[in-house]
């Protein structure tokens, strides 16, 4: 058998737009390509370090910034597929790859001679006549060294290196455990009577899943599109309880238990922060955020809490009263909450979200996000079939603007499968900016787990799924419209509590008639979404917002609790979480449930000490969208300002400075509470 070329190392057939050759990449290609990329990077670092010329921006900062290009190509591909299309063997490679990358990071960041060169350039920055973007890259490079141990003693550098090596393997392990725990559960129901109340399409989907597994009946898993209809509509309380309990105990006290793992992750982060001179991991992280410190975050969360908690309490009393009226319940539990909340919504607004589904066929919604982007920014999206994909479900679009100017590629991967982690996210295979000597355009990807089609029905999305697609598309626009010289600074590489602004603001267009009229049509009759439905969407917009805010606050508080103290003192994960959650708990405590063990955002993603960012960015987007409402949601001047001052700038300037350029002032801190009808 002849060996195949490694496409990461040897030149192979080029695809349009230099697209990733997924069809030529095999598992065995990654580690050799990463080893080669690390070798090349180290050789370039040694050249920079040993250069006898006087250190300047080009021979130190720019040279460093472009030193790992071959490696980045491989690692971006590997870790993107790790989340979206990987089997256990593929995932296991992370236990080899992550320590290799951690070792390289330590080799660079703790290199005394290299740091001396960076510091020499930084110390004379005012004499170098740098552009604003060059000055920003210099500042970030210098801070990056300091924040990664450059000023530590040799002994402490070695301690930091060991911590980073260990942490590099624990995040992927947490994620793998969560996915395995999620995939390990299936519930087969053979009696259709047990499914009363479930929408017909949810029942059809359950039957379709069962047939695909060679079983008779109705198969339920813990995928989000599966459990939401059950918890929202199933009259069978035991079914709701079973599904809710299983979902809320993933990776907790089962074969894939994450308790010891998350304690280890949090403890190592704390030790790392202390080595670097910070009291806690939260203090370390927030030093480079808009919030700046834990006190600001806690004050921010508390401000929302003092308004949201009493509102949530009142909302829950209404829900309890309805549960008593309808079914004689004296108490409701977590598996009752969504069910009776939906009943109350229907009673107050005559609004059943399931009736919206026929108007949100997946293809129509995708067309809708493109039409909105065209009206706002003059973008055009053309599906192409001449570039490879990593799974048959993935669609690829060429993005252009005026005069057919190429903007980038957009990959859409929308449906769940067992090789994909839960949730929805935007990522990039190529970031905009300098790459191999030229400024390239980005390759952006949106990955979700939406309601798939069945043999009886096309993919019809819930309204919340439509909001999610618009959210992730906002992230995608941030990446696609980046216009920076250096990829390190390019969108969406911005402060973590700023990165959600472009995404969350896009959700607003889903609730506006002018936008919905562009794409919301019945999949069978082609009838537009009726005006009275749109009015009900608007009327119910602030329904249950107290509880929604409280849920987000509970996660923000839990994140800060793990990361703004010494987590090694935590003996019992469940008891610790119960204590933290007491402040925001309205429903009775139920044994066997745990959020921390499945909290991938903070233990396997980039949100540690940053989950508050969702609420923080909601303040920004509520304030920012109010300008669109004043001028018109498709006002070209406002959209152009948002693009030029925010989307295109990446991290080339401080985010508050960029925001002020767009809005003409700093954000109104109460904009979110006012928009949510809480004040």
Q: List, in order, residues 6 or more apart from 548 with CB less than 8 Å away.
A: none
Mean confidence (pLDDT) of the chain? 96
User: Does 135 lie in the same domain as 71?
Assistant: yes
pLDDT in tens, 487-541: 999 999 999 999 999 999 999 999 999 999 999 999 999 999 999 999 999 999 9
Q: How many domains does the chain have?
A: 4
Q: List, in order, residues 6 or more apart from 510 with CB less than 8 Å away.
A: 463, 466, 467, 470, 516
What pairing do the DSSP bridges indicate for beta strands 443-447 and 438-440?
A: unpaired
What pairing do the DSSP bridges indicate for beta strands 443-447 and 425-430?
A: antiparallel
Specify whether 43 is catalytic. no
Mean pLDDT over residues 557-583, rounded? 97
pLDDT value, residue 352: 87
User: Does 380 lie in the same domain as 511?
Assistant: yes
User: Does 411 lie in the same domain as 497?
Assistant: yes
Domain boundary, last residue among 560, 589, 611: 611
* Domain assignment of residue 97, yes or no: yes
Whether residue 353 is predicted with pLDDT greater than 90 in this model: the reply is no
User: Does 78 lie in the same domain as 36?
Assistant: yes
Whether residue 679 is predicted with pLDDT greater than 50 in this model: the reply is yes
* Domain assignment of residue 9, yes or no: no
* Domain assignment of residue 214, yes or no: yes
* Domain assignment of residue 220, yes or no: yes
User: Does 45 lie in the same domain as 130?
Assistant: yes
- The whole-angstrom separation of Cα 428 and Cα 434 is 15
Catalytic position from the list 342, 354, 465, 472: 472
Whether residue 474 is predicted with pLDDT greater than 50 in this model: the reply is yes
pLDDT value, residue 11: 83
User: Does 520 lie in the same domain as 384?
Assistant: yes
User: Does 97 lie in the same domain as 200?
Assistant: no
For the entire predicted model, the pTM comes to 0.94
pLDDT in tens, 643-678: 999 999 999 999 999 999 999 999 998 999 999 999
CATH number for the domain spanning 141: value is 1.20.1050.40
- The whole-angstrom separation of Cα 662 and Cα 635 is 14
* Domain assignment of residue 128, yes or no: yes
% of the chain with per-residue pLDDT over 70: 100
pLDDT value, residue 378: 98
* Domain assignment of residue 169, yes or no: no
Q: 427 to each of 367, 424, 442, 479, how far by Cα in Å?
A: 20, 10, 11, 9
* Partners of 384 in beta bridges: 396
* Domain assignment of residue 413, yes or no: yes
Mean pLDDT over residues 87-112, rounded? 95
pLDDT value, residue 3: 59
% of the chain with per-residue pLDDT over 90: 97
492 cis-preceded (ω within 30 degrees of 0): yes
Domain boundary, last residue among 213, 247, 281: 247
pLDDT value, residue 13: 83
DSSP conformational letter for 198: S
CATH number for the domain spanning 275: value is 1.10.1370.10
pLDDT value, residue 4: 78
Domain boundary, last residue among 247, 276, 295: 247
The residue assigned the tokens 């604003």 is 132
Nearest to 650 by CA among 420, 490, 516, 470: 490
User: Does 385 lie in the same domain as 340?
Assistant: no
Q: Count Cβ neighbours within 10 Å for each residue of 560-572 and write b for 16 or more, e otherwise.
A: bbbbbbebeebee
* Domain assignment of residue 419, yes or no: yes
User: Does 374 lie in the same domain as 340?
Assistant: no
User: Does 486 lie in the same domain as 631?
Assistant: yes
User: Does 144 lie in the same domain as 84?
Assistant: yes
User: Does 212 lie in the same domain as 310?
Assistant: no
CATH number for the domain spanning 424: value is 1.10.1370.40
Higher pLDDT: 12 or 282? It is 282
* DSSP annotation string for 265-324: HHHHHHHHHHHTT-SSHHHHHHTTSSS-SHHHHHHHHHHHHHHHHHHHHHHHHHHHHHHH
Whether residue 1 is predicted with pLDDT greater than 50 in this model: the reply is no
Counting Cα atoms < 13 Å in the Cβ hemisphere of 37 gives 25
pLDDT value, residue 2: 46
pLDDT in tens, 44-63: 999 999 999 999 999 999 99
Range of the domain at 48: 16-109+111-151
């Amino acid at each position: 058998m002849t060996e195949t070329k490694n496409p990461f190392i040897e030149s192979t057939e080029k695809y349009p737009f230099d697209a990733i050759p997924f069809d030529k990449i095999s598992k065995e290609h990654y580690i050799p390509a990463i080893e080669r990329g690390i070798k090349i990077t180290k050789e370039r670092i040694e050249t920079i370090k040993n250069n006898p010329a006087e250190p300047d921006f080009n021979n130190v900062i720019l040279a460093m910034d472009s030193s790992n290009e071959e490696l980045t190509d491989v690692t971006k591909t590997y870790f993107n597929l790790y989340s979206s299309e990987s089997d256990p063997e593929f995932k296991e490679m992370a236990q080899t790859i992550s320590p290799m990358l951690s070792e390289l990071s330590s080799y660079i960041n703790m290199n005394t001679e290299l740091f001396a060169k960076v510091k020499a350039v930084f110390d004379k920055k005012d004499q170098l006549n740098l552009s604003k973007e060059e000055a920003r890259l210099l500042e970030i490079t210098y801070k990056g060294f300091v924040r990664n141990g450059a000023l530590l003693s040799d002994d402490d550098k070695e301690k930091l290196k060991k911590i980073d090596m260990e942490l590099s393997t624990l995040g992927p392990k947490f994620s793998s455990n969560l996915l395995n725990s999620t995939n390990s559960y299936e519930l087969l129901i053979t009696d259709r009577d047990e499914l009363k109340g479930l929408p017909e399409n949810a029942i059809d989907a359950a039957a379709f899943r069962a047939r695909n597994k060679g079983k008779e009946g109705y198969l339920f898993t813990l995928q989000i599109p599966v459990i939401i209809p059950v918890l929202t509509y199933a009259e069978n309380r035991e079914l709701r309880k079973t599904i809710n309990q299983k979902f809320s105990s993933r990776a907790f006290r089962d074969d894939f238990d994450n308790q010891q793992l998350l304690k280890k992750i949090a403890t190592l982060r704390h030790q790392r922060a202390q080595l670097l001179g910070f009291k806690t991991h939260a203090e370390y992280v927030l030093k480079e955020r808009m919030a700046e410190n834990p006190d600001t975050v806690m004050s921010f969360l508390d401000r929302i809490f003092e308004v949201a908690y009493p509102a949530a309490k009142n909302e829950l009393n209404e829900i309890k009263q309805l549960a008593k009226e309808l079914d004689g319940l004296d108490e409701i539990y977590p598996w009752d909450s969504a069910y009776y909340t939906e009943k109350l919504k229907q009673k107050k607004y005559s609004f059943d979200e399931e009736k919206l589904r026929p108007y949100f066929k997946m293809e129509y919604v995708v067309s809708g996000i493109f039409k909105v982007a065209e009206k706002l920014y003059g973008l055009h999206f053309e599906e192409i079939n001449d570039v490879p994909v990593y799974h048959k479900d993935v669609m690829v679009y060429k993005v252009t603007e005026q005069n057919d100017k190429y903007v980038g590629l957009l990959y859409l991967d929308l449906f769940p499968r067992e090789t994909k982690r839960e949730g929805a996210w935007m990522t990039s295979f190529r970031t905009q900016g300098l790459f191999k000597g030229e400024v390239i355009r980005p390759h952006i990807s949106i990955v979700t787990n939406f309601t798939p089609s069945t043999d009886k029905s096309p993919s019809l999305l819930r309204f919340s799924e439509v909001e999610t697609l618009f959210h992730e598309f906002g992230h995608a626009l941030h990446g696609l419209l980046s216009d920076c010289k250096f990829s390190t600074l390019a969108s969406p590489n911005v402060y973590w509590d700023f990165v959600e602004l472009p995404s969350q603001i896009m959700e607003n267009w889903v609730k506006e008639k002018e936008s919905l009229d562009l794409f919301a049509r019945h999949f069978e009759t082609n009838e537009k979404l009726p005006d009275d439905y749109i009015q009900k969407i608007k009327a119910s917009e602030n329904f249950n917002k107290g509880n929604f805010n409280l849920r987000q606050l509970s996660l923000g508080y839990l994140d800060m609790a793990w990361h703004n103290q010494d987590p090694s003192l935590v003996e019992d994960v469940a008891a610790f979480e119960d204590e933290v959650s007491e402040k925001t708990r309205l429903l009775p405590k139920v044994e066997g449930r745990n959020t921390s063990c499945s909290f991938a955002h903070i233990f396997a993603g980039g949100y540690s000490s940053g989950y508050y960012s969702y609420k923080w960015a909601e303040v920004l987007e509520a304030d920012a969208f109010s300008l669109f409402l004043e001028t018109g949601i498709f006002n070209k001047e406002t959209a152009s300002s948002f693009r030029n001052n925010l989307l295109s700038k990446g991290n080339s300037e401080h985010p508050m400075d960029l925001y002020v350029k767009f809005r003409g002032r700093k954000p109104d801190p109460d904009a979110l509470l006012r928009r949510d009808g809480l004040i």
